[in-house]
Amino acid sequence: MTHMSKPSSGENGTPPGKAKKAGKPEPEASARAEAVATRDGEPSAAAAPGASDAWMRASQVSLIGLFVIALLWCGYVAQPVIVPVLLAWAIATIVLPLVKWMQKQGVPRVLAAVIVTLLLITLIVCLLALLSTPVAFWLGRASEVGALIKQKLQSITQPLALLEELQKTLNVIGAGSQPALRVEQQSATVVTTIFSVLTPAVSQFILFIGALVFYLVYQKRLRSTAVYFLREHETRLSTLRTLSDIDESMTTYFGTFTIVNFCLGLVTMGLTWLVGLPNPLLWGVLAAVLNYIPYIGPALVTGALAVVGLLTYPTLHEAAVAPLVFLVIVTVEGQFLTPAIMGRRLELNPFAVFLAIAFCTWLWGPIGAFLAVPLLMALTVTLGHAFSEEKPDLPD
């Protein structure tokens, strides 16, 4: 009898076909095995992004540094254009409430801006006309200042007389019998000198007036144009709110500060009149104008009052009355009165103000010292909005 043989089965009763399929490694298992082998044998490639991130961060910092340097260089080169425009923006924030008030009274905004600008020009011209005579008087006495101050301070400089005599003796010995060299400076014509000084001043003044009028008229349109190129709605709202807060903070700060400086000018004028210094109006205007520059302005006025006191009074204690009293007044104003009126919201870091004044004076000269505080305030408001977590609302 013939017996039919059954096909041999694999281990555990598994058919041969299925045994072959079970013998092949699955893709997931092989991938995990390769990953383990790579992790155990060679260093993982996941450690590479850490070093690349550090280089990427360093390159970004370097790029930002180069951009800042290029921006500062452009600001220095374009000073004749940038400084009048920034000055117009700072002055516009002071007179902007007056334009808005006239607009509420029914006056067209263009006409209100022109009237305010004409009033500002008239005020400047009147002050220059009133102060031209005393300024010319003190400039004419500039050659006498050194001799008069030396005479007033003779009691203090007596110990240095020996050194002065020694210096004269050395100068005579060093000169010997050789004739002294004369350096003749070529004199330029008066017309050339006047034109070289007046031409840039007049052009920058015209640019200042034009920028002032256009900013007063088109302030809202300029803010809308500034956010036109932004895509996201939230970014546009945040930018509009930042620009609005900058204008509001500037108007509040400089509007209040203008009133304080006007009162300081009146007090200084009364002080100089009481102590008997000549030209009280000059010192009152100087105190009011230079007080816009923190630290430097009051120091200049104090030094000027000290010099005028030495030239006016015969004794040192009489000459020291006006500068000492003025120093007390500006200390009370700067440390107690102005912070109490403006509050903590508009308070600036004194060290940051000092650095801003030093930097802007180095970059743009005396006008830069005046622009330091407005620029610092704008930067402070911008950074406050940039790091704020609150969602901005639509500004008025």
Burial of residue 122 (number of CB atoms within 10 Å: 0-12, 13-18, 19+): exposed
Higher pLDDT, 143 or 20: 143
**CA-based angle 96:101:102, to the nearest 5?**
100
Mean pLDDT across 384-388: 78
Mean pLDDT across 353-376: 90
**CA-based angle 356:91:259, to the nearest 5?**
90
Helix axes 109-140, 142-152, angle to 10 degrees: 60
Mean pLDDT across 153-179: 54
Q: Give CA–CA dist 28/125, Å, rounded.
A: 88
Contact 374, 255 (CB under 8 A): no
Q: Give CA–CA dist 284/51, Å, rounded.
A: 63
Q: Give CA–CA dist 80/209, Å, rounded.
A: 14
Is residue 205 scored above 50 in pLDDT? Answer: yes
Mean pLDDT across 77-91: 91
Q: Of the given ranges (134-148, 195-209, 238-252, 372-386), which has the lowest mean pLDDT?
A: 134-148
pLDDT tens-digit profile of 182-194? 444 444 565 566 6
Mean pLDDT across 57-75: 88
Is residue 219 scored above 90 in pLDDT? Answer: no
Contact 145, 307 (CB under 8 A): yes
Q: Give CA–CA dist 119/111, Å, rounded.
A: 12
Is the torsion defined by CA of 216, 218, 220, 224 positive or negative? negative
- Cβ contacts of 93-99, under 8 Å, gap ≥ 24: 93/247, 93/250, 93/251, 93/254, 93/255, 93/374, 94/251, 94/254, 94/255, 94/258, 95/120, 95/216, 96/216, 96/219, 96/247, 96/251, 97/251, 97/255, 99/216
Which residue, chain included where needed, has tokens 């903070």?
A: 249
Q: What is the pTM of this model?
A: 0.69
Burial of residue 393 (number of CB atoms within 10 Å: 0-12, 13-18, 19+): exposed
- Please choose, from the candidates 214, 178, 212, the residue with its C-alpha nearest in 3D space to the C-alpha of residue 93: 212
> Which residues are CB-neighbours of 223 under 8 A, at least 6 positions away?
240, 243, 244
SS3 1: coil
- Please choose, from the candidates 255, 247, 210, the residue with its C-alpha nearest in 3D space to the C-alpha of residue 94: 255
> Which residues are CB-neighbours of 222 under 8 A, at least 6 positions away?
215
When pLDDT is cut at 50, 70 and 90, the band that residue 201 belongs to is: confident
Is residue 357 scored above 80 in pLDDT? Answer: yes
Mean pLDDT across 330-340: 86
Q: Give CA–CA dist 301/208, Å, rounded.
A: 26
Phi, psi (rounded to 5 degrees) for 30 = -65, -40
Q: Give CA–CA dist 73/67, Å, rounded.
A: 10
Q: Of the given ranges (57-71, 91-105, 140-154, 248-262), which has the lowest mean pLDDT?
A: 140-154
pLDDT tens-digit profile of 283-327? 999 999 999 988 889 999 999 898 888 888 888 888 889 999 999
Is residue 37 scored above 50 in pLDDT? Answer: no
Average pLDDT over the chain reads 77
* pLDDT at residue number 243: 86
* pLDDT at residue number 110: 92
Is residue 60 scored above 60 in pLDDT? Answer: yes
When pLDDT is cut at 50, 70 and 90, the band that residue 165 belongs to is: low
When pLDDT is cut at 50, 70 and 90, the band that residue 177 belongs to is: very low
* pLDDT at residue number 210: 92
* pLDDT at residue number 265: 93
When pLDDT is cut at 50, 70 and 90, the band that residue 211 belongs to is: very high
Domain boundaries, the chain: 75-141+203-217, 235-396
* pLDDT at residue number 325: 93
